Every structure is written in structure tokens, then in C-alpha cells.
Amino acid sequence: MSSQLWIVVAGCAVVTALIKGLGPAVLGGRALPARSAGVIGLLAPALLAALVVTSVLAEGQRLAVGAKTAGVVLGGFVLVRGGSVLSGVVVAVVATAGLRAIG
């Protein structure tokens, strides 16, 4: 493995540790302002929705709908109908693979 790739490994480890450690190190035990509780509660839906849509609809800087999009939508149906995490993911994977196989 080239030294360039080891630099990527080390670089990613360092930036991730810094990003995750910064808030806790700087804020310490100080309570966040009371009003921030509402914002914190809504960070998850905002960030997770963004992660989902970008991972199914973005290919680099291009927006695209494909087998993966349809597969994840099918997996989502299973989840909404009360399926387990694993069943939802398995349906998404199988549907995506199936659509690619016939497409």
C-alpha cells in the first residue's frame, strides 16, 4: 500500500478525532442553553434525512435516480410496515441487486 494511502488513513483518523472531541473538550460540563434542547432534538431528523437523500439520489455532484433509489424505497416500505432493521436492509439490498440484474 502506497504511503499516500497511509497518509489518508492517518489524516482521516486525526480529523475525525478532532471533530468528535472538539465540542466535549471546549464545552466541558457546561449545560447548553435551555433553548438548545429543542434544536438538539431536531438535529437527528435533519441530518439523517440529508444522509438518506444524498446517499440515494446523489452521484458525486449529480442527482440521479437508479436501482439503489428504488431498492431503498422498497426497504423503507418494509420498515414503515413494522419490519425489523435487518429485514428492511435486506429487502433494499435484494431489490437493488435484482433491479440491476434485470436492468
Partner 1 sequence: MQETAPDPPPVAQPVPRESFRAGMRAGLPFAAVGFILSLSFGVLAREVGFSALGAIVMSAIVHAGSAQFAAISILAGGGGAVAATTAAALMNSRFLPMCASVAPSLAGGWARRAVQGQAVVDPSWAMARRAGGRFDRHFLFGATAVQYVAFVSGTAVGALGGSVIGDIEALGLDAVYPAFFLTLLLAELRDRRSRLVALAGGMIALALVPFSPAGIPVLAASAAAFAGLARRHRVSG
Asked if 65 touches partner 1 (CB under 8 A), the answer is no
Per rule CB under 8 A, count of chain residues that contact partner 1: 78
Write each residue from 68 to 87 as x if it is in contact with partner 1 (CB under 8 A), else as -, in one continuous string. Answer: x--xx--xx--xx---xxx-
Three-state SS across the chain?
CCHHHHHHHHHHHHHHHHHHHHHHHHHCCCCCCCCHHHHHHHHHHHHHHHHHHHHHHEECCEECCCHHHHHHHHHHHHHHCCCCHHHHHHHHHHHHHHHHHHC
Chain centroid offset of residue 33 CA: 28
CB of 65 to partner 1, least distance (A): 12
Q: How many Cβ atoms are within 10 Å of 74's Cβ, its own excluded?
A: 18
Least Å from the CB of residue 74 to partner 1: 9
User: Minimum Å distance from CB 10 to partner 1?
Assistant: 8
Tell which positions 18-37 bind partner 1, by CB under 8 A.
19-32, 35-37
Per CB under 8 A, which of residues 33..62 are in contact with partner 1?
Answer: 35-58, 60-62
Whole-number minimum distance, CB 90 to partner 1, in Å?
9
